[in-house]
């Protein structure tokens, strides 16, 4: 087991406020999206692992919560400045101006990902040329378009300024819309029991140890500590109140979470008497492995006690 007080990659949705309201949005972000207070955000930063190689700040639209975003960046600089942590910002780019870009750079963001270049977003890339000029004017390099997943690109002390752009397409790593949030409401989630969302980047695979070609990454959805970006039915812990490393150390003892770490959600019930055959049959009916995972944590396994619901009865 790796040192759980050292996180290779942390993905944090600190707001679900957004100027857009895309049909495929997995976390129901929008103008009425859920928000957190600045105090809660600061408490979360205090509870993060001691060492983090990269932190990806996302939303919602982070720039729609500019005041809190700036406060988060200041606090991250206090905690991790000088330790080589790369600060990345995922934004739809709609609200970015020269003045905001200057402030973000000054506050320590070194990587910008414009994650809105697809058919679901209102502007679907209409600002791309304008953004390219804006980044170029500030010396932000645009040669690496794809999200940076290679460790060599962020395990360095000095991070050159860079930006890239991408969006939701069926063939990118997430393999179709997650069965979550507005994608569920709009019925545009990916129905394919053969696609294992858990075993690709953003899934649960490697959340404790890292996996082949995939960094050890966890996600925090507002305050909910998750092994993956889609998020489990209940969170593993509350980052406002608990040390993230302690939450990870607790779940790491459970064979259920060891299976998630292997990217094998169909096998996660075996240690508590839910066979792979049952999981496969339900996955075939539900048409999506994350929906099977929801059912497992709702009906069979208690997230708080980390025990089978049947053993407890
Ligand atoms: S997908 Fe992105 S831009 Fe669209 S509503 Fe969700 S957070 Fe906002
Ligand atoms: S199967 Fe569960 S743990 Fe794996 S990606 Fe889906 S929701 Fe996350």
Q: Are 45 and 75 in contact (CB under 8 A)?
A: yes
Task: Report how far residue 233's alpha carbon sits from residue 45's, in angstroms, rounded to the nearest whole number.
Answer: 24
Q: Ligand 2 within 6 A of 202 CB?
A: no
- The domains of the chain, with CATH numbers, are 6-249 (3.20.20.70), 255-312 (no CATH)
pLDDT (0 to 100) of residue 217: 96
Ligand 2 atom showing the smallest separation from residue 228 Cα: 8
Q: Ligand 1 within 6 A of 186 CB?
A: no
Closest to 239 (Cα-Cα) out of 216, 220, 218: 220
pTM of the model: 0.94
For residues 258-279, b (16+ Cβ closer than 10 Å) or e, as one string? bbbbbbbbbbbbbebebeeebb
Q: Ligand 2 within 6 A of 265 CB?
A: yes
Ligand 2 atom showing the smallest separation from residue 233 Cα: 7
Q: Ligand 1 within 6 A of 294 CB?
A: no
Taking CB atoms within 8 Å and a gap of at least 24, the contacts of 69-73 are 69/14, 70/103, 70/107, 71/38, 71/41, 71/42, 72/14, 72/41, 72/45, 73/104, 73/107, 73/108, 73/109
pLDDT (tens digit per residue) in 190-241? 999 999 999 998 999 999 999 998 999 999 999 999 999 999 999 999 999 9
Q: For the chain, give the percent of residues with pLDDT over 70.
A: 89
Q: How far is CA 173 from CA 178, 195, 196, 201, 259, in A?
A: 12, 11, 11, 6, 20
Q: Are 31 and 19 in contact (CB under 8 A)?
A: yes
pLDDT (tens digit per residue) in 120-172? 677 766 788 899 999 999 999 998 776 555 666 666 667 899 998 876 555 55
Closest to 138 (Cα-Cα) out of 166, 106, 101, 175: 101
Give the chain's mean pLDDT.
Answer: 91
* β partners of residue 18: none
């Amino acid at each position: 087991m790796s040192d759980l007080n050292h996180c290779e990659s942390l993905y944090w949705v600190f707001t679900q406020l957004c100027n857009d309201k895309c049909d495929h949005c997995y976390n129901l972000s929008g103008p009425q999206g859920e928000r957190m207070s600045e105090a809660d955000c600061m408490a979360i930063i205090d509870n993060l692992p001691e060492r983090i190689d990269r932190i990806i700040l996302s939303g919602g639209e982070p720039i729609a919560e500019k005041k809190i975003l700036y406060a988060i960046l200041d606090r991250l600089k206090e905690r991790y400045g000088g330790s080589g942590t790369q600060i990345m910002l995922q934004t739809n780019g709609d609200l970015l101006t020269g003045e905001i870009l200057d402030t973000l750079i000054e506050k320590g963001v070194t990587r910008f990902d414009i994650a809105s270049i697809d058919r679901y977003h209102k502007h679907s890339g209409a600002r791309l040329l304008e953004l390219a000029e804006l980044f170029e004017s500030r010396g932000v390099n645009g040669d690496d378009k794809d999200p940076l997943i290679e460790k060599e690109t962020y395990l360095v002390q000095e991070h050159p300024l860079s930006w890239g752009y991408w969006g939701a397409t069926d063939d990118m790593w997430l393999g179709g819309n997650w069965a979550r949030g507005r994608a569920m409401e709009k019925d545009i989630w990916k129905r394919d029991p053969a696609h294992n969302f858990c075993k690709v980047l953003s899934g649960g695979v490697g959340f404790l140890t890292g996996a082949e070609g995939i960094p050890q990454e966890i996600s925090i959805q507002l305050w909910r500590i998750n092994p993956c970006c889609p998020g489990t039915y209940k969170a593993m812990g509350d980052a406002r109140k608990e040390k993230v490393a302690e939450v990870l150390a607790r779940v790491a003892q459970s064979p259920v979470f060891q299976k998630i770490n292997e990217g094998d959600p169909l096998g996660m019930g075996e240690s508590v008497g839910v066979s792979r055959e049952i999981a496969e049959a339900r996955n075939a009916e539900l048409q999506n492995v994350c929906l099977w995972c929801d059912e497992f944590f709702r009906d069979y396994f208690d997230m708080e006690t980390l025990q089978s619901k049947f053993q407890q009865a």
